[in-house]
Each structure stands twice: as C-alpha cells, then as structure tokens.
Structure 1
Amino acid sequence: MILCGTDYLTLVAAMWSAFYMRELIILSLFPRLLSYPLPNYFYYVTPLIFMGFLFYERIYARRLPFWKNIELVFKVCSYSVALIIGVFFVTGIMKDMSRILIALIWVTSFAYLVVTQYALKRLLLYCGLWQKPVVIVGAGKTAELLVKAFEADPGMGYKVAGVIEDHYQERPLAHQYPLWGNFSNIEEAVMRSGVRDVMVAAPGLEREQLLDLVYRIQPHVSNLILVPNLFGIPMANLEAETMANQQALLLRIKNNLARTYNRLFKYTFDIIATILGGLAVLPVMGVTAILIYIDSPGPVFFAHRRVGAKGERFLCYKFRTMVVDAGEKLEQYLEQNPDAAAEWRKDFKLKDDPRITRMGKWLRQTSLDELPQIINVLKGEMSLVGPRPIVEKEIEKYGETIHDYYLVRPGITGYWQVNGRNDVDYETRVQMDSWYVRNWSLWLDMVILMKTFNVVFRKEGAY
C-alpha cells in the first residue's frame, strides 16, 4: 500500500512538473505558443490510468530485479500515454491539447516513478519493512548463485531466513544461515521456520525426489518457487506453457535476432540514436583529434580490419591510441617478453602495452577512442550495442558460437563491456557475446547503453 500510494502522488507530481516545464522552458523559447491552465483531470483521472497499468503488470505483487522493474515502468508509461492520446482523440480534447505537454508527461512520469520506487524501496529496506523472508531448500552451487543474486539486487527485498539441507557439513551456505532441518523432516522444518515462502534450489535431485518435496512442502506455504539449474540459458525471450493433460511444462525460447524484422528494428534504432547522439559528440571528437596530434604527431584515426555480421570484413575506425610504428614495436616486445607473448596469445590484449601513447592511455580508460565507430554504425557495419568486434584470428576461439556472432553487427558497446570488460577471461567474453545474441531485445540494448555511461565514468576494467 505504501508503494501504491507513493506512486499515485509521484504521478500527480509528474503531471504538475510536465505542465510547469512547458510553461517555464518551452514558452520562454516559443512565446507565441498559447498558455492555458492544466485541467483538473490531469491531477486525478490521468494518474489513475497509469495506476491501472501498474496493477495490470503486477508491479506491486512481484519482487522484481532492478532493470526488470524499470522495463515494466517504461512499458506502463508508454501504454498509458498511448491510451491517453487515444482517449483525447476520440473525445476531441486532442485538438486543444499541447503535444509537447504529452511528451513531457511521458518523460516526467517515467523518471519520477523510477527514482521514487528505487528510493522508497531503499528506505523501506533500511527500516526493515521491505524484507521478505525465504527459506531455501538446498545449499549447493545453485543456491549460492541465488543468494548472490539477492545480494547484488537488494531492491528485490528477499532475505534468506535459513536453509534446509541433507549434506549440510559439505555446504558452506548451510554454515552461513540457520539450518532448519533436512529433507526427511522438511514439513516440520518449514513450519518451525515460520516462513511462508520457500525456494527449492536442488537441481541434482531425481524427478521423484523433487516431486516428493514439492507435494510435502506446498500445503504449508503461501508460495513455492522452483529454481532449476538453467543459469546462462537464453531467458529474456523465454515463455512457459503447460500441457495439463500430460502434466508437462514447456519452455519456448525465441531467438529474436533470427527474425528479419527485429534486425531491421535494431538497425533503425541505431541510425536514429547515432544521428542524434553524433551531433552532441562532434565537438568532443574535434578536441580529441587535436590533443592526439599534439601528443603524438601522425594520423589521428586508425582503421583496423575486423569481422562483422555474416562474416564480412570491414574497417573499424578508432582514434589512434598507439605509436605510429605499433606493429614493429609489438613484435620486438613479444620476442623479448615471453610472459607478455603468452598473455597476447590468450586474450589478444596486453595489460601493460608499451605501444600505447600517453593520450591513448587516457582515451582507452574513458573509451573515447571508440567514438569514430559511429561512422561504422552509419555505414551499416556496426551497431551501437553488440558483440565486441573481433579480428580474423579470433574466429577459431569462438568455436560453434561464431554463428551467434555472425547473426548481428558488432557493437561500439556490449554486454561484455558492462559486465567486467577486460577483467574477464576470453572464454567468458565469448559466452557473454553468445548470451547477448540469444537474449536480445530492444530493452536489453537500452539497458546496456545506460550501464555503459556508468562503466566508462568509473573506468571499470579499462586498459
């Protein structure tokens, strides 16, 4: 109820802010536009439309990860504004309504809801009011991954109240949290814990054992959640179906990027966002080019042949971050340093690369060296978000997953860049590229773009 009431007040504030933003900013730039008072229904009826979609998406009934919650808020705001526009057209109100005001309502409602929901959940957590106790059945690797997920996203509000495990001596997790019992006395253990939500994270059990546990636990709890060992599989586009007669569960996994219209949609988004963003970064690129030349006279740009979609080769543009004779210097350095040669063969990167200039080191730390790749995006050779562009020698390291790589254009940023960057090994990097392709959605691209700003600012894994 606290979240619901706060969201309603937040939406009223968003309507008010949108109106005064138009009055103070837009009208100061375009004084000929007419000013009018905001109708009262914007303070009462319009927020209720947003609230209806929030309830429809069950935002108050589910514990959602941070980015999933933002995705649903994004959808709610989009659906609500679309419905408001439709109602205004049907009722004839739209002819007297400011289009700028409608756009500002979408912006303010989305921004305000995201910020207030996050802040309120943090406040409730601090006060101990947003914690939902759960008992985990099983204390193996799957349970450990589950606990790490709760710790990484405390906004979900799950608090581990204890575990139930047979082999507790061998399980570190069983020594970290209260041990309520084992599988043989699981009914008594659940009732003794007093917790109404149980998660079964024991994928090693045989089917009959798992069914036995489910049937024994379910009568004593409000919610029973099964956690299968499916970590890493494509899940963003996963749909569950049931076959009641056969008592079977079907999981449908869609590969969005295998569909032509989705690739076209992604390309359209890339072009529009690159044109808008490119205008903003042109002054930065100009200043950067001058500084590069001052630091190390020679070509400002560097073009390197990379592998793109469908295996096609293209020239990938970057600001030059190395000395002009980088190739010769690398050969000499690897010959004289066996450890560096082994590092190069493993990852095709050197943490202490002697070829990098002073300006180049700063450019790599801030990722500004990749700004010229917007030219590749406009040429249709790269995407804003995608796998890291590789060289031909790296193809063999991808193995069978190279077919995933060929399915999409490589990106200026990507899933690897915002999840460890150079701090992860090459095998994990390949898995991340494959995971991104198999889980692609427009929202995933937007999340990666938002995370990129944070990673670049903090210089995580950059060298």
Structure 2
Amino acid sequence: LALLFAGKASVAYSRIVLVGAWLLSIFLLPVTRRFCRHYFGKFRWWGTPLVILDRSNTGRELWHYLKRHPWLGLSPADIFTLPPDMEEARRQLKDAERRHPGAIALMLQPSDAHTARFVHEASRYFVKILVVPAQSSGVRQHWFHACDLGTMTGFMLMQNLRRRWRQRLKRALDLVLCLPVVVLCSVPGLLLCLLIRLDSRGPVFYRQRRLGKDGKAFDVFKFRTMRQDADEVLARYLEENPDLRDEWEKDRKLKHDPRITRVGRFLRKSSLDELPQLINVVRGEMSLVGPRPIVEAEIAKYGEVYADYCRVRPGITGLWQVSGRNNTTYEERVSLDRYYVTNWCIWMDLWILARTFPVVLTGYGAY
C-alpha cells in the first residue's frame, strides 16, 4: 500500500480486496509462521544458540524440552553451573562466548546473593541475556511487562478476561463467526444425520451433561458416534481385555474403542461429531474457542485450576485441540487450559481458529 501510494502507480484501489487481504492474513500469517518454524526446525542452522547457566534438574529439563521442540528457535549449545568464585565464573563465561559466538545466555532461577553480579559479568560476554526469575517456574504468563519500581524491577501481569468489555468482544466474535457457519453447514449436517441413521440404530444426536462458565451445568450436543448398547459393549470389552483397563481409567478413553460405529469413527477422526456444538455457541453455553467442556467427575483432576476453568465458556476448539489432543497427557491438558485463561486475548482466539483447520484436515491426535 505504501509503494502504491508513494509511486502513484494506480488511482483505482479496491477496498474489498484490501480489507479481504487483511482479514485473510489474520489466518494465513500464524499458519504459515507455524509451518515455517516446524519445517526449518529440522535444519542444523535453525535457531539461536543458547547457553544455559544452570545444571540443575530444571536446567536439564529445559535442555531436553528445547531439543525436542527446535521450532521454538532456541538451540541449546552448552549447559554448566557458574561457580561461586567470580574469577572462575569469568573464565567460564569468556570460554563459552568464544565457543558459541552470538549465543543467548540463559540464567535459571537466580535467587541467591550473587545473581546480580553474575548478570553483570555475563553482560560482558553475551549480547543477550535471558533471566528467568525463581518465582516464574509455576507461572506461565504471556501478557506482562517490566515495571521500574525505583530500587527494583517488577513484572506487571495482565488478566484480560477480568475486563467486561473484552468478554463482550469475545461473545460478539463467537456470534459473527458462528451464525454464517451454521447456515453453510445446514445441508452437510442433514447429510450426516442421514448417514448416522443408516449406519446404526438410535438417535442422531447425543447429549451429555457438562459444566460450563461459573460451574453451571448444560447439555452439550454432538453427533452420535457410538452404538446404543455402548455401556454393555465397554464392560464386556474391558472384561475380555483387562490390560486395557488402566488405559481407560487414566483418561476415560480407548485408542481402539469397540463402541464407536463406522460412521462415528469417521466423524471423530474429522472432528465433525462436534459440529452440533455450534448450537451451544449460539445459545451462549459455549464459545468457539475455550477449554474442553468437562464432566463433574473431572473436577478433582483439575484441582485448583477448576476455578480458572469456570471463568470462561468451554470451547469447540482450544489450545488442547491444536496441541496434540489425545496424544497429550491429562496434566498437560489442564496446564493448557490454565494458560489459555491466564493469557487470553482476541488474537489468541483467531490464532487457535487458524490452527484448527490444518489439525482437523490431518486428523492429528483424534480417535
């Protein structure tokens, strides 16, 4: 736009094209960025070298995590603990800078009296220093910024969902995006209803009691994917295969569930079984993006995170759905739900919606 305006290349500007390109970029940019990170993460040259100045369990865990997720852009190159002796620490820092030019120095849990001195010494040899405060090990906060308090530095945390106008904005986005989709999916939805009826006996829709915002119970709608005698089939299957009982007790899921019908397996793999939840969104019981709706028995598994869960409407899609779904542990799912509530913004919802399409098309983590 700047080049067209400055060069006066044309006097005819299509506003529809310009606005359409901007709206399209909202979805294409995060998807393309994610693809590039995962693709180029396979190459050795990708990422900035990282020197971790902490050989504790936390430092080792971070080392292995970054090695498993190279797309994050930080490539661990070295890890060691700075000794209490400052002269020896200087020697190690100088040697690390020589062996890893352009690296970022990361200090984990700096909570002792030598922290400030070590930071100042590291700044003599490294251009960038990433300091992780000790109290941040249990806090995954995205919307924060440094705050100068005169004699010290603090971190200002933001809770976007505490503001009413942001909650209304989220609800408006749900309706604007949901109502056109309901109209477009009406014909395919009727076709799916017909296939379900032809495949097995029973109702087309399945309703289950779930907990929503403020802990209020509601009926979530889904296309039926199981046989009518699902409970009897499950009991018989677990009795014949006792080795699978632990898998069922852990997450209340089975990778090869005998209760699922032929059409139901396709619906689950493609996530089309959750299409009727658009009705819940229109009724205000759910949102397009949010934590996965839970049943009452799962409150104990959520623990203190349940209070965060109750602050938002559960969603058709969410961080869990685009982060591996059934390939993740239940603890990771709870952690992702807390992260979403704590760090919510309208751009995060759009980013999750953009990532949902490739996840649905590939069927990753669905069963």
TM-score scaled by length of structure 2 = 0.83
> Aligned residue for 2:341?
437
Bigger CA radius of gyration: 1
Cα offset, 1:318, TM superposition: 0.5
Unaligned runs of 5+ in 1: 1-10, 16-39, 47-92, 168-180
Following TM superposition, by how much is the alpha carbon of 1:223 offset from its aligned partner in structure 2, in angstroms?
2.5
Q: Does 1:142 find its partner at 2:142?
A: no
Aligned to 1:31: none
For residues 361 and 288 of structure 1, what CA distance do their matches in structure 2 show? Answer: 13
Looking at structure 1, the residues matched to 268 and 312 of structure 2 have their Cα atoms a distance apart, in angstroms, of 25
Return the alpha-carbon distance in structure 2 between the equivalents of residues 441 and 224 of structure 1: 28
Residue 388 of structure 1 pairs with residue 292 of structure 2? yes
Residues 267, 273 of structure 2: 8 Å contact kept: yes
Quote the offset at 1:380 in angstroms.
Answer: 0.5
Secondary structure of residue in 1 paired with 2:156: strand
Q: Distance in 2 between matches of 1:307 and 1:239?
A: 34
Task: Tell me by how many angstroms 1:231 deviates.
Answer: 4.9
**In 2, distance between residues paired with 1:389 and 1:115?**
26
The aligned residue for residue 152 of structure 1 is 69
What amino acid maps onto 2:206 in structure 1? F
SS at match of 1:208: coil
Structure-1 separation of matches of 2:297 and 2:27? 45
Q: 2:132 aligns with which of 200, 205, 227?
A: 227
| Aligned counterpart, 1:175 | none
Q: Deviations over 1:105-149 (max 9, x none)?
A: 535776897799889999999999876445432344336526744
Q: Does 1:287 align with 2:191?
A: yes
Aligned to 2:277: 373
> Does the 8 Å contact 1:370/1:412 carry over to 2?
yes
* Identity across matched positions, percent: 37
Look up the SS of the partner of 2:256 in the other structure: coil
Residue type of the alignment partner of 1:394: E
**Cα-to-partner distance string for 1:200-244 (whole Å, 9 max, x where unaligned):** 2332x5422322211222123332222345356232222221223
* In 2: Cα distance, 1:293 partner to 1:320 partner: 10
Match of 1:212 among 117, 120, 123: 117
**What amino acid is aligned across from residue 265 of structure 2 in structure 1?**
K
Greater shift, 251-260 or 402-411, is seen at 251-260
Letter in 2 for 1:152: H
Match of 2:105 among 177, 183, 199: 199
Given that residues 235 and 439 in structure 1 are in contact (C-alpha distance below 8 angstroms), is that contact kept between their aligned partners in structure 2?
Answer: yes
| Range with greater deviation from structure 2 (306-315 or 333-342) | 333-342
Alignment-derived partner of residue 314 in structure 1: 218
Deviation, 1:429, is 1.8
Q: Is the 8 A contact 1:137 1:198 kept in 2?
A: no
How far residue 340 of structure 1 moved from its aligned partner, in angstroms, is: 4.0
1:414 maps to which of 318, 325, 336 = 318
Q: How does 1:106-121 map to 2 (within 5 A)?
A: 106-107=22-23
* Structure 2 gap segments, 5+ residues each: none
Instruction: Name the SS for the 1:207 alignment partner.
Output: coil
Paired with 2:256 and 2:49, the residues of 1 have a C-alpha distance of: 47
CA–CA distance in 2 between the matches of 1:162 and 1:350?
A: 41
TM-score w.r.t. the length of structure 1 is 0.67
How many residue pairs end up in the alignment? 362
Structure having the larger proportion of residues in helix:
1
Distance across 2 between alignment mates of 1:326 and 1:122: 40
**1:397-435 CA-partner distances (Å, limit 9, x unpaired):** 222211111111111111111112112222222222222
Counterparts of 1:113-132 in structure 2, within 5 Å, are: 132=48
Deviates more, 1:383-392 or 1:231-240: 231-240
Q: Confirm whether residue 446 of structure 1 aligns to residue 350 of structure 2.
A: yes
Of stretches 350-359 and 274-283 in structure 1, the one that deviates more from structure 2 is 274-283
Whichever residue aligns with residue 41 of structure 1, its letter is F
Distance in 1 (alpha carbons) for counterparts of 2:249 and 2:48: 48
Closer, same or farther in 2 for the Cα pair 1:148/1:320, shift >3 Å? same
Task: Report Cα offsets for 1:254-288 as digits up to 9, x if no partner.
Answer: 22223222221111111111112223322322222
- Deviation readout 1:60-106 (Å, 9 max, x if unpaired): xxxxxxxxxxxxxxxxxxxxxxxxxxxxxxxxx9xx96532441453
Q: CA deviation at 1:381?
A: 0.6
1:345 alignment partner, SS class: helix
Instruction: Report the Cα distance in structure 2 between the residues aligned to 1:419 and 1:127, rounded to whole angstroms.
Output: 22
Residue 337 (structure 1) shift = 4.5
Cα distance change on mapping 1:252 and 1:115 into 2, 3 Å: closer
- Give, as a single letter, the amino acid of the residue that structure 2 aligns with 1:200: L
Report the counterpart of residue 145 of structure 2 in structure 1.
239
Cα distance in 2 for residues equivalent to 1:206 and 1:242: 19
**1:308-347, Cα deviation, whole Å (9 max, x unpaired):** 1111111111011001222343344445554444433322
Within 2, Cα distance between the matches of 1:351 and 1:231? 33
> What is residue 250 of structure 1 aligned with on the other side?
154
Q: Which residue of 1 aligns with 2:209?
A: 305
- Distance 1:434-1:274 versus aligned 2 partners, 3 A rule: same
Question: In the alignment, is the contact (CA less than 8 A) between 1:164 and 1:183 conserved in 2?
Answer: no
